[in-house]
Amino acid sequence: MNEQRIKNSMNVLRTCLGLASHEVLAVIADDSKRELGESIYEAGKRLGAESLLLIMPDRSRSGEEPPAPVAEAMAKADVAVCITVHSLTHTAARKQAAAAGTRLATMPGMTDDMFSQGAITADYLQVQALTEKVAAILTGGQQVRIEKDGFRLSFPIAGRDGILSTGLYLNPGESGNLPSGEAYIAPLEGRAEGQILVDGSIAGIGALTAPVLLTVEQGRLVAAEGESGDRLLAMLGDGDGRLLGEFGIGTNDQARITGVVLEDEKVYGTIHVAFGSNNTFGGIVAAGVHIDAVVQKPDVYVDEVLIMRAGELV
C-alpha cells in the first residue's frame, strides 16, 4: 500500500474534515477506485477512527444513486468520503447524509496524481475566503451573462443561493468536493438562452482537444457541435438531463486542467455549466444525471457588472 498516499489521506481527513479518534468514518468506493479507497480507510484507522470501507459496483453516470445500504452508512457516519468514478455529489444519498449531520467529501474521478499535486495542495483558508466572496455575489445576483469568443449565454439566478465548496467541512452537515474550490448556483429552470463555447473539459469525456459549442434554448441544451458533442448528448439522454442545472466559478489557484472534472471545475480562471440534476442544491431538476462542462478564461457579468475578465476575477 502506498505510504505517501496514506499520509496525504491522513492530512486531508484531519485538516479538511476534522476527523477525530472517537468518530465513525465511512469510506465509499467503487470497484475502479478500490485501491484509493483502501488508502483512505487505512488513514482513518491510523487516526483512531472507527473506519468502515464499503465497495460498490461502478455507477453508470454522475448523479446515479448508490445502493441503499451505502446511502444508509453515509447517513449514519460522522464523516464520509466518497471516492468513485462518477460523482455522488448531486444525489439524494449525499443530501440525506448532510441533513443527518454527516461531514462529507466527494472525490469523483480522483487519481493518484491528484492526491499529491494540484488542487489538493492549496491553502484552503485562502480558497475559503475567495469562495465566500464569489458565493455572496451569486446569492445577491439576479442575472448572469457569460461571454467568450463572440458567444454569450444568459440566465436568471434570482432567489437562489450561492453554494460554497471550500474544501473545509468541519461542522455537522457540511459537504462538498475534495479537492475543492468553487462557488456555484442553480439557475432558474427553463430560462437560459444562448450559446457557450466549452474548451476545458467535460465530465465523463475528459480534457477537450477541440471546443464544443453548446446551444441552449428555454433552459434546455438543444445542440452540441464539435467532436465530443454527440457523446455529451448521449450521456445526458433526451429528458431532463439536458436542462441547465448549474453555474459555477473555480476558486482554487493550484488546480489544473487534468481531464478529471473534479479538479478541472475548481481551476481559478474557469467557469463551468452543468446539465441535469440540481435539486440537491436549490433547484428542482431530478434527472439522475449531472454533467459538468468547463470553460477557460471567459468574461462573466452578474447584473451587468463585470466580475470576471478573461478568467481573472475583478
Average pLDDT over residues 227-233: 97
Res 1 pLDDT > 80: no
What is the tens place of the pLDDT at every residue in 81-99? 999 999 999 899 999 999 9
Per the prediction, the chain carries an average pLDDT of 96
The single residue listed with the C-alpha cell 465513525 is 24
Q: Break the chain into its structural domains and give their ranges.
A: 3-116, 120-313
Res 180 pLDDT > 90: yes
Average pLDDT over residues 185-198: 98
Query: What is the CATH number that goes with domain 3-116?
Result: 3.40.1830.10
Res 240 pLDDT > 80: yes
C-alpha cell at 25: 468514518
Q: Residue 236: is it exposed, middle or buried by C-beta count within 10 angstroms (0-12/13-18/19+)?
A: buried
Q: What are phi and psi of 247, to 5 degrees?
A: -130, 130
Q: Mind giving me the DSSP string for the chain? A: --HHHHHHHHHHHHHTT---TTSEEEEEEEGGGHHHHHHHHHHHHHTT-EEEEEEEPPPSSTTPPPPHHHHHHHHHSSEEEEE-SS--TTSHHHHHHHHTT-EEEE-TT--TGGGTSGGGGS-HHHHHHHHHHHHHHHHH-SEEEEEETTEEEEEE-TTPPPEEE-S---STT-EEESS--EEEE-PPTT--EEEEEE-SEETTTEE-SS-EEEEEETTEEEEEESTTHHHHHHHH-SSGGGBEEEEEEE-BTT----S-HHHHTTBTTEEEEEEE--TTTT-----S-EEEEEEES-EEEETTEEEEETTEE-
What is the tens place of the pLDDT at every residue in 194-213? 999 999 999 999 999 999 99
Res 282 pLDDT > 90: yes
C-alpha cell at 81: 468520503
End-to-end CA distance of the chain: 45
* pLDDT at residue 115, rounded to an integer: 84
Cα 37 versus chain centre, distance? 19
Among candidate residues 43, 44, 76, 69, the one with its CA nearest the CA of residue 54: 69
